[in-house]
Structures are given as structure tokens and as C-alpha cells.
Amino acid sequence: MKTVFQQDFTDIEKRLLQSGEDYIAMLEEALAGYGRYLDLLQARAEPDLIIQAFNEYQLLCALREGPFGVAGLNERIEQFMQQKRKIHRHPHSRCTKVDR
């Protein structure tokens, strides 16, 4: 990761989560970052447009497990989006992953 951040990428940003406020700010940014994707999904737009919008924002983390790992962040972002009424999950639904 150090090598990545030493390069001058304009589309990669490093965030340190040092407090609860930092974590909430990150959740808000994720909600904003996925906003276009969620809007297109709700509008039942063409699948290609939805996938393109989804790929416009990515949240990466260095850990797999724990509250700051991939699974923990995905779960917390999902809960946050549900609280903000951006997504609705039915009790008997399950996630599906699509690979190209």
C-alpha cells in the first residue's frame, strides 16, 4: 500500500479512521459515493448503466476481518444505507455476486 500512496494517483485517497466521527464520515462518503448507483438501481435503469455507476466508487481496506475489514465495513455500510432508507432488505433475501 505504501507504494501506491507514493504515486500521484488522483482517484485514490487514503483515509485514517481514528475516531467514531471518522468512521461516521466514511459511512457518509460511501453513501454519497454510491448515490448515483443507488438512484439508477431504484429507477430500474439499464444494467450496463447500473454496473458503470457501481464501478465509479470503490471503498478499499487493508483488512479482511473485524469492524474495519471487508466484511465488517460491508455490513456497517449496508446497515447505514438501510437507516438512511437508501436500500431495503427483505428478511428472506440474500445477496448475489455477479462476476464478468
DSSP letters spanning 39-70: HHHHTT--HHHHHHHHTT-----S-SSSTTSH
Q: What's the confidence (pLDDT) of residue 10?
A: 81
**Cβ count near 14 (within 10 Å):** 8
Q: What's the confidence (pLDDT) of residue 63?
A: 83
Q: What's the confidence (pLDDT) of residue 97?
A: 53
d(CA 15, CA 61): 10
Q: What's the confidence (pLDDT) of residue 94?
A: 64
**pTM tops 0.75, yes or no:** no
| 73-86 pLDDT, tens digit each | 888 888 888 888 88
Which range, 13-17, 27-31, 59-63, has the best average confidence (pLDDT)?
Answer: 27-31
Domain 19-83 sits in CATH at 3.40.50.300
